[in-house]
Chains A and B, each alone.
Chain A
């Protein structure tokens, strides 16, 4: 790992959607910042030169939703293991979810995570603080204190509030401090003990279903409360066509809302659950082909401005049980970019839009000064070879969680270098893994 110094990245195709740049150009870094784009500035002498010819150079990716499992579930993953995985996936900033154990509902818990992450120095770890105490959905968390300590948003992780009055108050209180609220819209009563999309596959397998209405009912409710309270709401991990449409319309109606979708939702459907494949047990569940197509369109037209990993690493045992008893979630950091690039190959997105959904899109949700490459910007950079073809082998993943349904998938496009704060934190040529 090199120390901050002068780095030149030469000959790459620079794609910076925030500034409308897509050109072959050099990029020069001094210390932690981008010094110049284009010609070598007078007197600048690079300590390191990275030949990026044939490669794409873009802002480091920002992942709005990652579970790092520390503190409390170190048997699944640690901040150290997951930030290495992030660097390997070209991700330089990740927002960790508040459902650690204990939850991030006090500055002390966040402080612990912040220090560990800083010591690892592989990626910028930011936090979404808890919206309610212990994520219990009853008492408000000390949001002002969480914000003062550095939490960039608040949310209740995968535990949607059942009580609408508490939700109203929580949104009002968060709005007082201009905090963005992450909502995972899902009606807990309609979900009940469901573990798969309520549709043809679940009916045949006898799996308790989660109806699409569990999401649309909650999104309708949350939109009404967002409008009523004026809170800045971000919808996490949408799974249905109906919800994508509702959020898209609300955006056009000038409501301050945004939304993301997990990368796996853009590729898998309820059919993948067939045969009781626990690796495809996710929450929200994989829906129909029609939902998947609608989500893809929403990402293309900007109704959904962010693609995230919804990273949920698990130990092997968590997926080794009868389907309903397995833990939901996919280890997604290392497939976030490959799955998004696949959408480009499939003609869903152009390359600049794909990168925008992973960089300036998420930065915009939180108002972060990241996700773009202008002079003076933080030198968080992802370099990938768009032509490299490779096959995912879970054994070669850096994440402690090997729970991926994409084993054996062939991808085109692979990260070769990741720079975080002007330092190379990942270099493919030095990677011992396959």
Chain B
């Protein structure tokens, strides 16, 4: 329930303690994240400035799933905030020797970690760690199972705002494997919270949740119809294992039906932008001509990811720092 997320994620003044999911966060807080990120975002041609906000803090990247890209942007964001970063690659570490997740967590806490950035293959992993973490420790979800990837969603919102300004008149289409996508779940929540006119999901029924309508989206099975008059097209990555699970016949047929081409993009608004969380399967989700074309903002998404992660980490940590100094102050 949204309330349970609020209890865990927000302090009693509604400020961010952990960043686990978009679910339960209000429009003001999402806007605050975007505004904070704006202050970190580099101007064209100027390098991002290092700021001392998290000097002396230790941030541990706790990645139970491999992800070079996300881990690197989190690491870069932490370093630009002057924090010290530990990369804990769990697949070659303790859990492969049988240590439980909880024991791993306790050990890293004993090393005075102030913040965990967690990626895990199971839905709910970040909630679990946040529920178990010591009171002074923040948790940022870098993707858990099929549940949430809130920093990815926020950098997508940031990208959209950069190009479109206001969210309210927008129609956004999300194309592909929504069912298994933590990115799509977080995007849908963020878009609806920020008040867009319409969110559409497009794909075959095997890749869309049966309860899609309850998530506040309109369902399309035809790409041409689905992208008609939209302002933003978000393509999702198609995992190869979807063919093995009998969800799709072939990459070929998928591209025939749902691959984004310049021709199909004609149905969207003339100024529509195309996004993708990466990495792209060229010729599966989209034509190279679209990926590299004038409407693609895919590479901007990557660089905005650093600013968003700086914003989220500094906001969560500031609450901690404020709370700690209040406790230390003489009564």
- Among A200, A274, A322, point to the contact of B125 (Cβ < 8 A): A322
Give the nearest-CB partner of B213 in chain A. A200
Could you say which of A199, A274, A325 contacts B1, with CB atoms under 8 Å apart?
A274
Specify which of B124, B214, B215 is in contact with A276 (CB 8 Å cutoff).
Answer: B124
Considering the chains assembled together, what is the distance between the CA atoms of A204 and B184 in angstroms? 11
Within the assembled complex, what's the spacing in Å between the Cα atoms of A317 and B99? 12
- Of A203, A278, A321, the most chain B CB neighbours within 10 A belong to A203
Determine whether the beta carbon of A203 is less than 8 Å from that of B215.
yes
Closest CB of chain B to A408's CB: distance in Å?
Answer: 15
Distance between Cα atoms of A323 and B132 in the complex (Å) = 13
**Chain B residues, CB < 8 A from A208:** 123, 146
Residue in contact with A323 in the complex, picked from B5, B8, B128, B214, CB distance below 8 Å: B128
Q: What residues of A have a CB within 8 angstroms of the CB of B209 in the complex?
A: 203
Measured CA separation A276–B122 after assembly (Å): 11
Are A271 and B1 CB-contacts (below 8 A) given A204-B215, A320-B102? yes
Are A200 and B122 also in contact (CB < 8 A) when A275-B127, A322-B101, A323-B128 are? no
The answer to whether B4 has its CB under 8 Å from any CB of chain A is yes
Residues on B with beta carbons closer than 8 Å to the beta carbon of A320: 100, 102, 128, 132
Contacts of A206 in B (CB 8 A): 123, 144-148, 182, 185
A274-B4, A275-B1, A322-B144 known; A205 vs B124 contact (CB < 8 Å): yes
B210: Cβ under 8 A from any A Cβ: yes
With an 8 A cutoff between CB atoms, is B120 at the interface?
yes
B327 at the interface (CB under 8 A from A): no
Are A198 and B124 in contact, CB atoms less than 8 angstroms apart? no
CB proximity of B259 to chain A, nearest CB, Å: 25
Q: Is A188 interfacial (CB-CB < 8 Å)?
A: no
Interface string of A187-202 (1 = CB under 8 A from B): 0000000000011100
Q: In the complex, what residue of chain A is closest to B214 when comparing beta carbons?
A: A200
| Interface status of B23 (Cβ within 8 A of chain A) | yes
B211 within 8 A of A: yes
A324 and B148 alpha carbons, distance in the complex (Å): 15
A322 — which chain B residues lie within 8 A by C-beta?
101, 120, 122-125, 127-128, 144-145
What per-residue 1/0 map shows which CB atoms of A206-230 lie under 8 Å from chain B? 1110000000000000000000000
Collect the chain A residues with CB atoms within 8 Å of residue B132's CB.
320
Query: Is B5 a contact partner of A275 (Cβ separation < 8 A)?
Result: yes
Is there contact, CB below 8 Å, between A317 and B4?
Answer: no
Most central of B124, B145, B185, B214 by chain A CB within 10 Å: B124
Contact with A along B225-257 (1 / 0, CB 8 A): 000000000000000000000000000000000
Q: Do the beta carbons of B122 and A325 come within 8 Å of each other? A: yes
User: What separation, in Å, do the CA atoms of A320 and B127 have in the docked complex?
Assistant: 11
> Please, which residues of chain A bring their CB within 8 A of the CB of B1?
271, 274-275
> B interface, how many residues as a size bin?
20 to 34
**How many Å lie between the Cα of A372 and that of B215 in the bound state?**
51
Q: For residue B188, which residue of chain A has the nearest CB? A: A204
Q: Are B124 and A204 neighbours in the complex by a CB distance under 8 Å?
A: no
Q: Which chain B residues in 138-167 approach chain A with CB under 8 Å?
A: 144-148
Closest B residue to A324 by CB, please name it.
Answer: B122
Contact A324 B124 (CB under 8 A): yes
- Assembly CA distance A198 to B212 (angstroms): 12
B211→A199 contact, CB < 8 A = yes
Determine how close the nearest CB of chain A comes to the CB of B218; give it in whole angstroms.
16
Specify the chain B residue showing the minimal Cβ separation from A195: B123
Residues of B within 8 A of A198 (CB): 210
In Å, the complex CA distance between A200 and B213 comes to 9
Which of chain A's residues has its CB closest to B122's CB? A322
Cβ contacts under 8 Å, B147 to chain A = 205-207
CB distance from A264 to the nearest CB of B (A): 19
A208-B146, A271-B1, A320-B100 known; A203-B128 Cβ under 8 A: no
B4 / chain A contacts, CB cutoff of 8 Å: 274-275
Contact: A205 with B123, CB < 8 Å?
A: yes
In the complex, what residues of B have CB within 8 A of residue A205's CB? 123-124, 147
Q: Which residues of B contact A278 (CB under 8 A)?
A: 128
A204 CB, nearest partner CB in chain B, Å: 7
A321 touches B128 (CB 8 A): yes
Q: With both chains docked as a complex, state the minimum distance between the C-beta of B174 and any C-beta of chain A, in angstroms.
A: 14
Minimum C-beta distance from B236 to chain A (A): 14
A321 touches B215 (CB 8 A): no
- Could you tell me the distance in whole angstroms from the C-beta of B266 to the nearest C-beta in chain A? 32
- Chain A positions within 8 Å of B127 at CB level: 275-276, 322
* Complex CA distance for A187 and B316, rounded to whole angstroms: 44
Point out the residues of chain B lying under 8 angstroms from A276, CB to CB: 123-124, 127-128
**With A and B bound together, what is the CA distance between A321 and B99 in angstroms?**
12
Task: State the CA gap A58–B56 with chains docked (Å).
Answer: 67
Beta-carbon nearest neighbor of A277 in chain B: B4
Residues of B within 8 A of A200 (CB): 211, 214
Best-surrounded residue of B1, B8, B23, B182 (most CB of chain A within 10 A): B1
Contact across chains for B146 and A204 when beta carbons are under 8 A apart: no
Known: A275-B4, A321-B101, A323-B128. Is A207-B123 also a contact (CB below 8 A)? yes
1/0 per residue A323-337: CB within 8 Å of B?
Answer: 111000000000000
Collect the chain A residues with CB atoms within 8 Å of residue B122's CB.
Answer: 321-325
A274 to B8, CA, bound (A): 13
Chain B proximity mask over A288-331: 1 for CB below 8 Å, otherwise 0:
00000000000000000000000000000100111111000000
Q: Which residue of B lies closest to A323 (CB)?
A: B124
Q: How far is the CB of A268 from chain B (nearest CB, A)?
A: 14
Chain B residues with Cβ under 8 A from A204's Cβ?
Answer: 23, 185, 211, 214-215
List of A residues within 8 angstroms of B182 by Cβ = 206
A residues less than 8 Å from B146 (CB atoms): 206-208
Contacts of B148 in A (CB 8 A): 206
Closest to A273 in B: B124
| Binary interface encoding of chain B residues 33-61 relative to chain A, with 1 for a CB under 8 A from any of its CBs, else 0 | 00000000000000000000000000000
A278 CA to B146 CA in the complex, in Å? 17
Query: A203 near B211 (CB under 8 angstroms)?
Result: yes
Most B C-beta atoms less than 10 A away, residue of A317, A320, A323: A323
Interface residues of B (CB under 8 A from A): 1, 4-5, 8, 23, 100-102, 120, 122-125, 127-128, 132, 144-148, 182, 185, 209-212, 214-215
Which 10 A-B residue pairings sit nearest by Cβ, starting from the closest?
A206-B147, A206-B146, A275-B4, A276-B124, A322-B122, A322-B125, A323-B124, A203-B211, A203-B209, A206-B123
**Can you pick out 30 interface pairs between chain A and chain B where the beta carbons lie within 8 Å of each other?**
A198-B210, A199-B210, A204-B185, A204-B214, A205-B123, A205-B124, A206-B145, A206-B146, A207-B124, A207-B146, A208-B123, A274-B1, A275-B1, A275-B5, A276-B124, A276-B127, A317-B100, A320-B100, A320-B128, A321-B101, A321-B102, A322-B101, A322-B123, A322-B124, A322-B125, A322-B127, A322-B128, A322-B144, A323-B122, A325-B122
Apart from A199-B211, A204-B215, 19 more pairs, CB < 8 Å: A200-B211, A203-B210, A203-B211, A203-B214, A205-B124, A206-B145, A274-B4, A275-B1, A275-B4, A275-B127, A276-B123, A276-B124, A320-B102, A320-B132, A321-B101, A322-B125, A322-B127, A323-B122, A323-B128
